[in-house]
Amino acid sequence: MGGILGSESREVRIGHSLSEAEQQYLAKRRETVLQCLKQHSIVCSKGEVPNIAVLGSGGGLRAMVGLLGSLSQLGECALLDCIMYLSGISGSTWCMASLYKEPDWSTNLETVKDKITQRLAEGSIRWWEMGHKLVKYYSEKHNFSLTDVWAALLVSKMVKEIDENTLSEQRGKHTNDPYPIYSVIDKQCKYDRQNADVWFEITPDESGYSLTGAFVDSLYLGSQFKNGAKINDQPENDMLYLQGLCASMIADMEEILKTLYDLVMKIQETIRENPTLQPPAAQKGCQVLLALLELNLHHLRKEDTEGHMETINELLKEMEETIQENPTSETPAMEKGFQELLRLVDLNHHHLRKKDTEGHLEDLNERGRSGIRSPENQMTSVGTISETDAVTLTACSSFLVMFKGQSFWDKIWITIIRSIEEVLHWIWGKTYNYLSEMSVKDVDPSVLLSETREYEDTAAILNAPYVSVLRKERDIDLIISLDFSEKDPFKTVFTAAEICKELQIPFPEVVLPPGEKTKPKDFYVFKDNTEAPTVIHIPLFNDINCKGQIEKWRKRYATMRMSYSHNDIKDLLEKSESNIQNNKENLLKEISYIVAQKKSFTSLD
């Protein structure tokens, strides 16, 4: 147990042992595994039951459907009940989230699979549903970040649902299913090279740093803590947010801005049809906001932006006339925002024409000291922001003075403005730090001193959840690695071997037969005579199920695809299912070997 000098509470737990809830879950699951092994004539005692984990890699919708097919076939082969843990990152977590919505899903998997397949092929999310969800995230949270935007607007569109269930609600509802582990990483620790603190796991019971042993009740992940005591409740993150958090690696700035642009367009159409929803000046201001979004899109694409600046100038003239012609109690705020926009447009003209902008930036700085935020020198997670981004960020600040935040329409505009700011800052997974101001021996001081942490997709380092699953306390005997990577299907397992070596986690040597890196087979076994677990590695697309056309299948299921048809899903399910079906006997052979090993160790004891 790690040394602790702060106040440990019932919500925060310091220690390397598994949580009591996980231990109880595994004790029940072990009986299920024991009976499953007996069905396959593998006889052993409870103490000799192997701990088998299925790992799903990242890969967007390809990983989601691929994992669904693999698990379905494990069920058909009567092997799913042999699995103790199911863990995933990125797109694989989308499949997990869909499965664990259904109590004891593994007992009714074909029906659940059909339900998920139909939703992916035929479902849709309407723009107002996404808008409402985005406003809800912004309104309820202290730490609104790009993860909220990505989840509400893009992930919901890809998985075709807004899942507002929570992880803690799953407690006690999955006694017949493998224990789920979702994996992310601590972004700041990644950059600070604090290897032991990078790996962060999320389960229905606890969430925390896998290797250093510092956990919080998952119900309170996101609430504010000080020295181990909860001082401010925040709503538990829902499953849509968790899916966005786990799968942030595939996010694209242009795609997010484009989706925000489309959302603003839909809102504009609604307001045109119902002009009483917003005052005329605010409507004009929102047209400028739309133009600024378009300007940023063209800037990202390295396209000419001059025409867009002219459009913004025209809109500003119309906005000034509207403010003067429709005086209200809000007129001073409108005029203040308008004057700010005039200065920003002038700066944009100079910047885009590559003229000297120093005087304009000094003017912005001066107004920043006067209370109007000037962000041109702010740092983002990707470095110092550009002058163009600074223009947009300050414009966002000026728009905020136009809205009181009382009506839904005010709230949605404010949320969109904040969303644009989050895109330009590129800050993901910002969450209150439950270890803030604690003193924990094994946790780096920089973590303990921060009020918030930022979490992101594990794929930024490793495209599979090996490290969290391989906690010493989980005593894993066999890993079934389902690799849904878009390109090199062995990069993940080689990287895992390197990382585990650095972290002194037992891992078998990974050696490929000559020539198989470009022509992978559908089943690999990596094991040695050490205490390392056996790793079975199964590439999704391989020379067996693709018959020499691997690249064709990879291109068809590119990671950035936003949706699949019924045929796409059907064909992908068949590929992933065939990998399990063709290797049922190989899987049983390795399970039998591990049980025999455990028996020999028992007899020596």
pLDDT score for 7: 45
pLDDT score for 59: 96
Residue 438 half-sphere exposure toward CB, CA atoms < 13 A:
30
Closest CA to 425 of 383, 362, 485: 383
C-alpha triplet 290, 381, 419: angle, nearest 5°: 25
Residues of the chain with pLDDT under 70: 1-9, 193-196, 278-279, 281-282, 285, 305-306, 308-309, 323, 326-407, 602-605
Q: For residues 241 and 144, is the Cβ–Cβ distance under 8 A?
A: no
pLDDT score for 438: 94
Alpha-carbon dihedral 485, 559, 177, 490, rounded to 10 degrees? 0
pLDDT score for 362: 45
Sheet strands (E) in 448-508 = 452-457, 478-483
Rounded to two decimals, the pTM is 0.87
Backbone phi, psi, residue 276, to 5° = -75, -10
pLDDT score for 324: 73
Task: Give me the residues paired with residue 55 across strands.
Answer: 87, 481
pLDDT score for 368: 39
Please tell me the distance from the alpha carbon of residue 184 to that of residue 29, in angstroms, as a whole number: 25
Closest CA to 508 of 472, 464, 478, 468: 478
Residues with Cβ within 8 Å of 318's Cβ and at least 6 positions away in sequence, in order, are 284
Please tell me the distance from the alpha carbon of residue 393 to that of residue 417, in angstroms, as a whole number: 9
Q: For residues 151 and 244, is the Cβ–Cβ distance under 8 A?
A: yes
C-alpha triplet 105, 106, 112: angle, nearest 5°: 50
Please tell me the distance from the alpha carbon of residue 309 to that of residue 292, in angstroms, as a whole number: 9
Residue ranges of domains in the chain? 249-354+386-424
pLDDT score for 186: 94
